[in-house]
Amino acid sequence: MNNIEASEKRDYVRVPFKGNVTFRTLTEDEFQAQYQEKENWSESTSRGLISENFEDAKKAGESSVDPNLVRFLLHLEDKLDRILGLLGDKSRNGMEVGSGIDISSSGIKFRTGRHLEEGQHLEMRFVVSRYPIVCLDILGTVTRVIPIYDQGAKQYEVAANLYEFDGQTTEEIMAYAFRVQREALRSKRKQ
């Protein structure tokens, strides 16, 4: 038993993730600009420009943005992008779609038909919860690419680390991981 504990090197729980991962590659300059923008967004949130407790801020007469509204608008934008993709504008913002494999608070693994290079920066969007809607828009860097042949077609299994700015992303992914684990336990009990 001690052997198992000593050989485990992960700090995060990894769970299956079956959703779509919409992504695009970023140049170093684009990555730095977006990184700075997200960092500034995080700082403005911590300074109270975007209140974590919308109702309290509203009662106090402070100007704030409801975080649920922001999530909803991001989700709406994602849906509109998908509709435009179905209508034929597949190059909208250069976004491509991969299939999720698994996720943890520190990284994500997904499958795509596009070859990516280790060290390449990505902008990614994916939904970890439909209700309440939790759509994450996050930056990452490719850490591993493994070619896979699936039914004669060449695919790539891509692992990418995720950059955290406000702690909220980690919380949302952890909530998703716990939900998946609870569902697995419930289904085991029913068998």
The confidence score (pLDDT) of residue 110 equals 97
Torsion of CA 170, 172, 177, 178, to 10 degrees: 110
- Nearest in space to 133 (alpha carbons), one of 37, 68, 66: 68
- Split at pLDDT 50, 70, 90, the class of 48 is very low
The SS3 of residue 105 is coil
Determine what percent of the chain is predicted with pLDDT higher than 70: 74
pLDDT tens digits, residue range 73-97? Answer: 877 877 777 677 667 655 556 788 8
| Cβ–Cβ under 8 Å, residues 140 and 163 | yes
Q: What are the beta bridge partners of residue 149?
A: 154
Q: Mind listing the domains of the chain with CATH numbers?
A: 12-190 (2.40.10.220)
pLDDT tens digits, residue range 136-157? Answer: 889 999 999 999 998 888 999 9
Residue 181 scores a pLDDT above 80: yes
Strands (E), the chain: 15-16, 20-26, 96-103, 107-112, 121-129, 134-150, 153-162
